Amino acid sequence: MKNHPVHVRIAEDKLKLGKSEYSIAVGKGDTITWTLDCGGAAHFAVLLPSFHSPLTWCCKAKKGKVIKGKVRKSALPGVYPYGLCVFDGARLRVLDPDIIVTPPKGGR
């Protein structure tokens, strides 16, 4: 089991992630940790299609700095687009990166 950090920030008046964090390759049982660094109080959320979420939940919203998600052991390999939203008190900013669930070693 592995942790995959995603660093979320606002730069140049846009929501940004680290270069390699727009598509995160994960395995079953892994954890993804989104950490918000925007310098002030903000709300942020991670949203996935509820019937196809590879995580143990489909939506988490919070006022704070960290959201964690665990990849289900039953998650099917594939590409899962998700919404990442941050409200900084003045503007709502949205990105649509991907979670990629990789097939297990040796095939199915």
- Is the Cβ–Cβ distance between 67 and 44 less than 8 Å? yes
According to CATH, the topology of domain 3-101 is Immunoglobulin-like (2.60.40)
108 pLDDT band (50/70/90 cuts)? low
Give the strand order in the sheet containing 14-17: 14-17, 3-11, 31-37, 66-70
Considering only residues 40 and 87, tell me which one the structure prediction assigns the higher pLDDT. Answer: 87
Chain segment 21-61, per-residue pLDDT in tens: 899 999 999 999 999 987 776 889 999 987 789 999 999 99
CA dist 106 and 96 (Å) reads 30
Token output for 94: 């949205």
pLDDT surpassing 90 at residue 95: yes
Tell me the whole-structure pTM to 2 decimals. Answer: 0.91
